[in-house]
C-alpha cells in the first residue's frame, strides 16, 4: 500500500456506509409496520458510529476524548427522556 | 521545513493537539444539543401525528435525498483521507482531496436548492403556499416546518464547512502540515464529519417515513 493511497480502514468504512445507505432505503420500502422506524434509526446510528470511530478517529483516542465526544449525546438523551416522560403520559395529546 | 513548535502555553505538540481536539468536541457537544432540540420537537410531533408524518414523508424527494447522502458520505471519506495524507507529510494530496470534498459540498447545496424549488412548486412551503390533503394537513405542516428549519440549519453548517475546508486546503498547499503538526486539519475534519453525522440522522427522519405505506 502506497502512502498516498487511502488507508484501508477509511476505504472500507466508505464502502460499508454506502451499502448501509442502500440497505436502509430497501428496508424503508418493506411493509414492516412499527418496525420500519426503529430499523431506520438503528441503521442511522450504525452509520454515525462508523463515522465517529473511523473517520473521526475516536477508536485511536483515550477515555477522556471519548467522554468529551459522548457528552453532547448524554445530555441529549436526558433531554429526550424527560420530555418523552411528559408527552407519552399526557392524556389528550395531540390536541386535534 | 522547520521543526513545528508548540504555542507557548503548551508543554509539547502532543498536548496542544489534545487541547485542540477537546475544544472541538466541546463545541460539537453544543451542536448536538442545538440539533437535539429540533429532534425532540420532531419526535414529539411524530408520536402525536404519526399518520400525517408518514403522508408528509412520502412527499419528500427520496432520489435527491439519497444522492445527497451519498455525496456527503463520500466527501467525509475524502476528508478522512486528506487528514491521513497530511500525517504522511503529503500536503499536496491533502489540498487536492479537501478541494474535492468542498466541491461535493457545493454539489450538495445545489441539489438541496433544487429540491427546495421543486417543493415550492408543489405548494409544500408552510407560511407561503402550503397545500396538503385535508385529513393529514395539520401534522404534515409541522413536518415541513421541521424539514425547512432542520435542513436550512444543516445547509448553513455545510456552507461554513466548505469555507473551512478551502482555508485548510490553502494552508496545505503551502505545506503547513506534517506528521508532527496537523491539529488544524484534524479539527476541521472533525467539524465536517459532524455535519455528515447530522445529515445521516436527518435523512432517516425526513426521507424514510411512510415509504412502505
Tell me, what's the ipTM?
A: 0.95
A19 contact B CB<8A: no
In order of A56, A81, B81, B96, the CA distances from B90 in angstroms are 19, 46, 11, 10
Q: Is residue B145 part of a domain?
A: yes
Query: C-alpha angle B73/B121/B129, rounded to 5°?
Result: 110
CB A88 within 8 A of CB B47: yes
Tens place of pLDDT for every residue, chain B, 213 residues? 556 788 889 999 999 999 999 999 999 999 999 999 999 999 999 999 999 999 999 999 999 999 999 999 999 999 999 999 999 999 999 999 999 999 999 999 999 999 999 999 999 999 999 999 999 999 999 999 999 999 999 999 999 999 999 999 999 999 999 999 999 999 999 999 999 999 999 999 999 999 987
**Please, which residues 119-138 of chain B have a Cβ atom closer than 8 Å to chain A?**
138
Please answer yes or no on whether A83 and B40 come within 8 Å at the CB atom: yes
Specify the pTM.
Answer: 0.95
Interhelix angle B183-206/B13-48, rounded to 10 degrees, is 10
Q: What is the CATH number of the domain that holds B41?
A: 1.20.120.80
How far is B206 from chain A, CA to nearest CA, in Å?
11
Answer yes or no: is B20 within a domain: no
Does residue B76 fall inside a structural domain?
Answer: yes
DSSP string computed for chain A: --TTSPPHHHHHHHHHHHHHHHHHHHHHTS--GGGHHHHHHHHHHHHHHHIIIIIT-GGGS-HHHHHHHHHHHHHHHHHHHHHHHHHTT-TT-S--
User: Is B6 inside a domain boundary?
Assistant: no
Domain count, chain B: 1
Domain housing B156: 34-206
How far is Cα A79 from Cα A96, in angstroms, rounded to an integer?
Answer: 26
pLDDT, tens digit, for every residue of B162-204?
999 999 999 999 999 999 999 999 999 999 999 999 999 999 9
pLDDT tens digits for range A65-85? 999 999 999 999 999 999 999
Amino acid at each position: 500500500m502506497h502512502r498516498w493511497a487511502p488507508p484501508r480502514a477509511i476505504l472500507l468504512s466508505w464502502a460499508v456506509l454506502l451499502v448501509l445507505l442502500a440497505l436502509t432505503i430497501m428496508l424503508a420500502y418493506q411493509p414492516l409496520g412499527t418496525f420500519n422506524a426503529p430499523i431506520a434509526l438503528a441503521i442511522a446510528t450504525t452509520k454515525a458510529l462508523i463515522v465517529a470511530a473511523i473517520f473521526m478517529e475516536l477508536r485511536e483516542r483515550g477515555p477522556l476524548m471519548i467522554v468529551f465526544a459522548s457528552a453532547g449525546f448524554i445530555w441529549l438523551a436526558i433531554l429526550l427522556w424527560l420530555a418523552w416522560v411528559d408527552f407519552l403520559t399526557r392524556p389528550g395529546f395531540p390536541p386535534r | 521545513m522547520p521543526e513545528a513548535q508548540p504555542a507557548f502555553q503548551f508543554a509539547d505538540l502532543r498536548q496542544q493537539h489534545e487541547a485542540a481536539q477537546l475544544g472541538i468536541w466541546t463545541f460539537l457537544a453544543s451542536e448536538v444539543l442545538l440539533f437535539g432540540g429540533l429532534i425532540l420537537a420532531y419526535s414529539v410531533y411524530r408520536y402525536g401525528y404519526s399518520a400525517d408524518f408518514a403522508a408528509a414523508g412520502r412527499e419528500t424527494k427520496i432520489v435527491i435525498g439519497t444522492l445527497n447522502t451519498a455525496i456527503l458520505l463520500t466527501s467525509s471519506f475524502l476528508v478522512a483521507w486528506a487528514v491521513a495524507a497530511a500525517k504522511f507529510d503529503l500536503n499536496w494530496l491533502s489540498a487536492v482531496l479537501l478541494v474535492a470534498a468542498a466541491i461535493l459540498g457545493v454539489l450538495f447545496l445545489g441539489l438541496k436548492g433544487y429540491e427546495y424549488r421543486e417543493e415550492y412548486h408543489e405548494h409544500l412551503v408552510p407560511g407561503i403556499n402550503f397545500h396538503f390533503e385535508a385529513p393529514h394537513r395539520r401534522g404534515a405542516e409541522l413536518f415541513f416546518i421541521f424539514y425547512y428549519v432542520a435542513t436550512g440549519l444543516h445547509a448553513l453548517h455545510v456552507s461554513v464547512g466548505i469555507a473551512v475546508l478551502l482555508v485548510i486546503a490553502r494552508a496545505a498547499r503551502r505545506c503547513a502540515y506534517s506528521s508532527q503538526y496537523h491539529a488544524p486539519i484534524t479539527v476541521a475534519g472533525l467539524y465536517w464529519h459532524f455535519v455528515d453525522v447530522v445529515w445521516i440522522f436527518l435523512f432517516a427522519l425526513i426521507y424514510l417515513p411512510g415509504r412502505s405505506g
